[in-house]
């Protein structure tokens, strides 16, 4: 499961791109499209939304919640929400403060882990969250907020 942040009504256009089935075929033998591919139905091309300006930001649920909490969002269900136009300056000031201080970002940092309670229990991997990831996501969110401000709209996530 993942969460995507995006600018509401951001300008985008459709563009033809090579289908993933062609990419996969290239890795093995030829470069032909899968005739039974659900995405391109064998044509090898798909239409994709291409956004102008700030790109939508996709994160795992756990990482999204950690970043959103860092920005001051609270509650049990942070998997969807929005930053209204009027709230954007406050959130941008928070991002500025977080970018300036690694100490302020530290609550989102998680070490990678690999745990298994007993030999027969399931093994749980967590990839962790490092400071460079947190910084990059804060920059990505700031770009979305700036675009939303220039369009007079909000940033949504779900």
Residues near Zn ion, by CB under 5 A = 19, 21, 37, 39-40
116: left (phi over 0), alpha (psi -120 to 50) or beta: beta
- Residues paired with residue 2 on neighbouring β-strands, in sequence order: 60
Which residue number, 18 or 146, has a Cβ lying nearer to Zn ion?
Answer: 18
With a CB cutoff of 8 Å and minimum separation 6, the contacts of 155 are 5, 6, 7, 8, 82, 83, 88, 141, 144, 145, 148
Smallest distance, Å, CB 15 to Zn ion?
Answer: 16
d(C-alpha 140, C-alpha 133), whole Å: 10
Smallest distance, Å, CB 135 to Zn ion?
Answer: 36
Smallest distance, Å, CB 18 to Zn ion?
Answer: 9
Which residue number, 39 or 151, has a Cβ lying nearer to Zn ion?
Answer: 39
Which residue number, 33 or 64, has a Cβ lying nearer to Zn ion?
Answer: 33
Q: DSSP label at 129? A: B
Smallest distance, Å, CB 114 to Zn ion?
Answer: 35
Which residue number, 19 or 145, has a Cβ lying nearer to Zn ion?
Answer: 19
């Amino acid at each position: 499961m993942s969460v995507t942040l995006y600018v509401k009504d951001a300008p985008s256009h459709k563009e033809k791109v090579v289908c993933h089935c062609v990419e996969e075929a290239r890795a093995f033998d030829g470069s032909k499209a899968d005739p039974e591919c659900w995405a391109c139905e064998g044509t090898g091309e798909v239409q994709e939304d291409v956004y102008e300006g700030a790109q939508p930001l996709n994160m795992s649920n756990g990482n999204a919640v950690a970043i959103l909490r860092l920005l001051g969002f609270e509650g049990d269900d942070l998997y969807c929400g929005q930053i209204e136009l009027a709230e954007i300056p406050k959130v941008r000031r928070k991002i500025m403060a977080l970018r300036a201080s690694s100490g302020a970002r530290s609550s989102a940092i998680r070490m990678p882990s690999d745990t298994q309670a007993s030999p027969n229990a399931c093994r749980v991997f967590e990839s962790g969250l490092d400071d460079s990831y947190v910084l990059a996501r804060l920059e990505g969110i700031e770009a979305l907020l700036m675009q939303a401000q220039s369009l007079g709209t909000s940033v949504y996530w779900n």
